[in-house]
Structure 1
């Protein structure tokens, strides 16, 4: 029996901000963002779009009636939670109509939690092979107006259905994690935006990658020449590119280098346009690779590096399943192109928009473009979600 990712859904906001426009507004050369970060635009959410609405939109694209009856575990990974007590997966469970006898939880460890969720899901299916698990990675990255990380914001959600005999990817038994107690990126409960030590975080990302990869090679005998591609956590694509470069040693053949580089370019196609989505960034890159590479074949091995500040990282591999392309979309780019371009002024207004509650803890919102679901009101401090299209 094999276990892995059967299908992948993705949703992002309906608004996008050009990084060239942001650069002009901030008085910097556009190349600082487009070449220095390898970013072209970022998705921007209105107040009516949050981690739950994006997750519901992503999952609803791939869920079948059979899924709704056989999913008995929902794992929601996020670092932009909407409630300090109630799990976002509970809201999602109701919106998606999953059968009632399902466990619904929320997980957090910066950008790493979705990988922990995937590990948990795999072990669940090993025990109950006739059941399925829905793993969600949904986040809205906000760093602050005119902050050092402003250009690396973004928003999006990935929905992964984990099952036995998957039709897209088999998860191999070679996971290796590393933990370091560091302060490279963190957000205390009292702050709406994170604190970041940028250069230190970059250093830790790369050092965690190289040391974990070296240990992975020792334990499992892996090597880059065995891999068709390597996907990375992508806070911004240039950092992931540095990660790939750090792994490509001098003994690697030119053919191997060309293959890994070409597939890396395919793997950042969506990240360049959407920006940082925290827990989902690695899996957005994986989806981008699968939908944009023309060189992948059944049986190919893909390496994956997950990193969450604070810090926990993990390296593992996956095997492409025969017929995987039948369970992917061919119109993703056209959908991304439909996002509404907004000005820097509009982006700033959306950034600062907050719920204005009355004395009962209630409010309604003006209408914005959203995906299939929207946050339509807050009623006595209770978030009200509805399917809108």
Structure 2
């Protein structure tokens, strides 16, 4: 099963056009690329997926100039997203036991990478200061993934962490100096449809909000702690989600939203909640913010709602009602009973080791062909909301006999892009 709606048809059409253009160039009297106008060449190359565009830059200087133009890169990005929901190539994963920076592709990504000779997992040796080209060696931590850009950190003995923003496809990176006092809850924000520049957002002393601007390569305190400390009480987990020019965090089972350009912070509206309700996931996909919440009893049943909210709305709506009870039948070991030490026997099952990781929203108002990626101990799996198909995406070796499932805040969805830094 392919996780994201495929664009293989349009990509194959692009390859056909490129071949046709090559034959046109080889026709008698047209032995040079100059025979084709720039706009024609660009309109052909923009049909290719990002990996093949990057490869086409090696053909000649002219093609490189055309495909590195910001207008071309932006058009390629918008075309890839238009009508295909939110494509996801794979996930970076920060392990709980030190196995940081692991990467696993989604179905079909391996074939696409192999077609252009690209290595998976990605090669990070182009970043100076890395001790290994393999992100699975445990010395890399991912802090953000946003429209093809990654925010990474590497440990440096006696010097603190080394941060950088990089593009794996173009193999470019920019070091970022993150002061030690600002290394809490570091997030990446990048919306190429609005600006070619990115931001890094982090929380400082007593939850003051600080912003790094790539355009000026400087930091600025956007929100003083006097205005934000009370909002960030019980911040769990320490990770923000970028959504429509803002960063959203979970604090005290509520959502806190920081608007980057306006430098404004506020609480978001929440859906009706029952007693003991917890927020088990937030994420952005297809321009919407998704949330999954449940009570302890609801989680044990493996049945819950995926909620979403659109910019400008004040109420959450149900995107899909998920029923993963079949997973309990397939893997009974994920149902954990409580041990009664007084009577030396197990009580009723009161914990289900299953957690959502990411919602890949499909197309249209109803999110057709949406997919839920979730985890159980030792496995990352997918649930197709259209045909209810359940598939294994990734096997993760267990490090303990009874290990918990992996949680959403350790995973970062990645999709390659051509944007420059």
Fold shared, TM-score > 0.5 on shorter chain: no
Q: Whose RCO is larger (CA < 8 A, sep 6+)?
A: 1
> Normalized per residue, which structure has more strand?
2
Is the radius of gyration larger for structure 1 or structure 2?
2
Higher helix share: 1
